[in-house]
Structures are given as C-alpha cells and as structure tokens.
Amino acid sequence: MKIGVITRHAIINYGSLLQALATQDVIESLGHEAEIIDYIRYDEHYKNREKFSIKRKPEWNSNPIKRFIYLLLRQPQSCIAGRGFEKERERLLHMSKRYSDKAELMNDKPRADVFMTGSDQVWGPVENGEYDDTYFLSFTDGSDKVISYASSFGRTEMTDKVFQFYKNNLKRYSHITVRENSAAEIVKSMGFDVNQVLDPTLLLDRSHWQKYFKPISKKKYILIYQINNDEKLGEYALKLSEKTGLPIIRIGAAFHYIRMPGKLKICFNMGEFLSYFDNAECVITDSFHGTAFAINFNTPFVEILPNNKTGTRNMSILELTGLTDRILRDENDLDLAMKKIDFSSVNKIIAEQRKESLDILKKIIEE
C-alpha cells in the first residue's frame, strides 16, 4: 500500500529530518510505499520563519531597531541552514509535490491508501503559536483511512479551547499511537484508545543507521548537542573537558553557537551528524533525539533536562530505559559522565519495545 505521511519534516532541526527518514525507512521495511507529504507552511519556510518567530519574542519585537537587529543576525543563518536541510530532504526523502496550506491539499489531495500523521511535535503549536489541524489530516474525507504513529504534543498549554481542539480532531483517526506517556494520558483523558510506541528513530538499530554514516576524524572528544539556551550545559562540558583532557565538539546548524563552549561543527549532512554521536566518548545533551541516538548507539551520555515544558519527552525515554540516573542533578558531578552504562539491559528493553511498536504499526496500517 501507499502510505502518505504528514509530519514536521522541514523544521531546521536534525531530529525533525531524521524522524521523517526513519518513518519512511520503517514503512518500506514493512513492504509498503512511503511518501512524505511535503507540507511546509508559509510562516515555517526557512525564508520566512524568523519574520514570524520574532512576533513571539517581545524582548526583540518591542521597537523597529530591535526587530532590525534580530532579523539581521538571524535571517541569514536561517536561510543558510534552511537551504542545507532542504538539500538533505531532497536527497533522502521520498516527497510529494509541495503544499503550503490546507486549501492546496484539499484541492489536490495526495494519493494514498493510508494517511498517517507521523511523529515528533507534530500536534504542537506551529511557528506563529497557533494550532494547525492540517497535521491532523483535516484535508482527508470520511472514506480515507487515517492513523497516527508516535505523534507528540510537544510544549502544550492545555487550555479548555486547546483541549476541545484536540478532542475534535482526534476523532478523525481510526488508530492513535503517541510517543510519550504524558501524551498517552492526554489522549486517554479525551476518551480515545491509544497505544504508546517508540520514536521511529529507535525502530531502526545501529546497523541500519550505519549505512548513512559519513567518515569523520575519530580522535576522542566530548560531544555537545544542545537545542535550548541553557548555559549550564556548556559550563558542565568545560569542567568535564578540563578533568579528562578531551576536546569539546559542538554540533549544530546555526552560527550563533560559535559563542558557546566547544569547537562548532556546522554540518547539514545527516550521516556526519550520526557519526559524531557514534564516535563520541560522551554526549552532553538536552535534546530528545540527542538522547535517543546516544541510547541507540550505546554512547555514554549526560542528560540536561530542559528548563521548559518539553522535558517530558526526554524523561519518557529515560524512564522507559531505566536511565533516569543519567540526568545531571549536581553541576559538579563529573563522575556521572564517566560512569559506565549497562547497555545490555537497555538494549534488551529497546529490542522488546521495538518489536512491539513495529507490530502495532504493521497492524494499524494493514487492519
């Protein structure tokens, strides 16, 4: 069958692209054809993103001079990174024609036997702070089969209005699966059946991801992968570097990271990104997918939980694998980074959950 997948594949973020690639690869491993619906809202296209994101930053949007400075600093790097990720999407993903709004999708709906909402923060607020029912496949009709796999709410203020929005749109699905236990509780509270499954990047083991690896220098290093602006992460890495004598590599897609601790590696190639995780002596991260790839590649890591409402997704995978002890609770605890992880028990848990999640995905597609 042909599976049409809508997801947040075009955000300037490694995890967004890699989860879309994983979803595609997994569907094809089950013997079906996967097509990523190339839906990119006007306000989320990299050429326009900063002009809309500044509206949610009152500290920069308060007067014309501050707005000009913000856009002068952010817009060029957003375009460079956006184009870099766009080339990777074109290289790696099997995509439909481009759509920029729901009307276009309704007027020329992609052909598919099953429509699926993919994973990551696909049900959270979009760039302008609103909620987009397109990600709930609102352009389909009653005759279409509609499912979700490992969908996430991300950072959500669950007001009565938002709660009702979700409840109305979740009715569309014949099967609902989510990524985090917190998301499962939200769906249950709305009266729907739900299964919790693994993020698609974890459905593929290291041997599968290895075919995407790109050779890098294999000198020993500490790796930083950071998505939130928390100075504690860099400060901890500096202390660890001083104690171990290992250099710090910071992987990212934005030039403003150059002012933060670590040698910045700007890379848009997904294979290079994966190789840095595979070869690191230790990963220090606040990212869900940073944590997921460290676990999947059996790389020691330290978790810096984000100081915002997105930390539940990180906590969910740590609780599942019994690795909550990798959370940094004392900024001077350098022994944590050097403490070995019993990956044999972790791998057993992931293998069991992988089989269960794949069985669920196969069932909801084919049922």
Task: Report pLDDT digits (tens) over 169-184.
Answer: 999 999 999 999 889 9
Residue 258: per-residue pLDDT: 82
Please write the tens of the pLDDT for every residue from 229-244. Answer: 888 999 999 999 999 9
The pairing of strands 195-196 and 177-178 is parallel
Quick one: DSSP state of residue 257? Answer: G
What per-residue confidence (pLDDT) applies to 130?
85
DSSP codes joined into one string, 176-213: -EESSHHHHHHHHHTT---EE---GGGSS-HHHHGGG-
What is the mean predicted confidence (pLDDT) over 153-163? 82
Q: What is the pLDDT of residue 53?
A: 76
pLDDT over 90 at 44, yes or no: no
List CB contacts of 160: < 8 A, sequence separation 6 or more.
none
Task: Kindly indicate the confidence band of residue 62, based on its pLDDT and cuts at 50, 70 and 90.
Answer: confident
* Interacting residues of 113 by C-beta distance below 8 A, sequence separation 6+: 1, 2, 3, 145
The full set of domains in the chain, from first to last, is 2-204+354-366 (3.40.50), 206-349 (3.40.50.2000)
Q: For the chain, what percentages of helix, strand and coil (3-state, to nearest 5) are there?
A: 50, 15, 40
pLDDT tens, 332-354?
Answer: 999 999 999 999 999 999 999 99
pLDDT of residue 308: 57
How many other CB atoms are found less than 10 A from the CB of residue 56? 12
The predicted-structure confidence for 78-131, as pLDDT tens digits, reads as follows: 888 889 999 999 999 999 999 999 999 999 999 999 999 999 889 998 877 789
* SS3 state of residue 170: helix
More confident residue, 358 or 311: 358
Lowest mean pLDDT among 40-44, 78-82, 157-161, 289-293: 157-161
Report the pLDDT value the prediction gives residue 310, as an integer from 0 to 100.
58
The mean pLDDT of the chain is 92
**Measured CA distances, 117 to 133, 203, 328 (Å):** 11, 17, 34
Confidence of residue 309 (pLDDT cuts 50, 70, 90): low
**Residues 6+ positions from 200 with CB-CB distance below 8 Å:** 19, 22, 23, 26, 118, 119, 149, 150
Q: What is the mean pLDDT of residues 258-284?
A: 93
* Nearest Cα residue to 275 out of 225, 208, 201, 213: 213
How far apart are alpha carbons 153 and 209 in whole angstroms?
26
218 pLDDT exceeds 90?
no
Residues of the chain with pLDDT > 70, as a percent, come to 98
